[in-house]
């Protein structure tokens, strides 16, 4: 039976992990794939305590950067750095790292306030006052755009 060009035979099951590894290698995405592999097995590689307070962040050349939750742990990790490099290199035997560096875990962005789909209530007196101020704008589209903008900010202040 002739093998198709893509290397897969009909009725032959292939593990998805193997397929992803080949796709990443073909696309020269080996750096991101190494990071995905590390993230998946991080607690087994470095131990649960270290994994609870750290996570692989990114590669820069042969250096693996780790996100660390606080500066006290950064200091502690410096003492166990050779052991961590050894464990990581055992796991990444095909592409070992040369060094480890630390970076504080970035804080997540505060949640964005959701705009309500219906316009909020604005004090009618404030709105009438603003409308009187904008009556001198000759272009009706510009005047209305300015009023809508004012209303947006007025609703957010209420």
Name which of 138, 154, 134 is nearest 146 in CA terms. Answer: 134
- Tell me whether residue 113 is in a domain: no
Given a contact cutoff of 8 angstroms between Cβ atoms, the answer to whether 20 and 63 are in contact is: no
- Tell me whether residue 28 is in a domain: yes
Provide the pLDDT for residue 111.
Answer: 77
Tokens of 9: 């035979």
CA gap 2, 9 in Å, rounded: 9
- Tell me whether residue 11 is in a domain: no
Angle among Cα 144, 147, 149 to the nearest 5 degrees reads 110
Q: Give the domain range for residue 141.
A: 124-157
Q: Tally the domains of the chain.
A: 2
Reduced to 3 states, what is the DSSP secondary structure of residue 153?
helix
pLDDT digits (tens, 9 = 90+) for 21-50: 676 566 555 667 788 888 899 999 999 999
Q: How confident is the model at residue 152 (pLDDT cuts 50, 70, 90)?
A: confident
Question: 74 CB contacts (<8 Å, ≥6 apart)?
Answer: 68, 102, 104
pLDDT digits (tens, 9 = 90+) for 88-142: 999 988 888 999 999 998 887 777 666 554 556 788 888 888 888 888 888 888 8
Reduced to 3 states, what is the DSSP secondary structure of residue 102?
strand
- Tell me whether residue 9 is in a domain: no
Q: What is the mean pLDDT of residues 68-84?
A: 93
> Residue 6 above 60 pLDDT?
no
Instruction: Kindly report the pTM of this predicted structure.
Output: 0.53
Given a contact cutoff of 8 angstroms between Cβ atoms, the answer to whether 100 and 84 are in contact is: yes
Residue 153 and residue 86 share a domain: no
Q: Which residue has the higher pLDDT, 105 or 4?
A: 105
- Tell me whether residue 10 is in a domain: no
Given a contact cutoff of 8 angstroms between Cβ atoms, the answer to whether 120 and 158 are in contact is: yes
């Amino acid at each position: 039976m002739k093998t198709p060009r893509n290397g897969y035979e009909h009725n032959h099951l292939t593990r998805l992990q193997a397929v992803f590894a080949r796709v990443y290698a073909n696309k020269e995405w080996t750096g991101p794939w190494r990071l995905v592999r590390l993230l998946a097995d991080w607690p087994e590689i470095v131990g649960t305590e270290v994994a609870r307070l750290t996570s692989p962040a990114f590669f820069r050349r042969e250096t693996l950067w780790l996100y660390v939750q606080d500066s006290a742990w950064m200091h502690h990790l410096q003492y166990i750095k050779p052991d961590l490099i050894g464990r990581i290199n055992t796991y990444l035997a095909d592409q070992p790292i040369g060094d480890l560096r630390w970076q504080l875990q970035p804080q997540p962005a505060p949640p964005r306030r959701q705009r309500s789909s219906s316009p909020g209530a604005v004090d009618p007196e404030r709105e009438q006052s603003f409308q009187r101020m904008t009556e001198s704008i000759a272009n009706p589209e510009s005047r209305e755009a300015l009023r809508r903008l004012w209303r947006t900010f007025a609703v957010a202040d209420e």
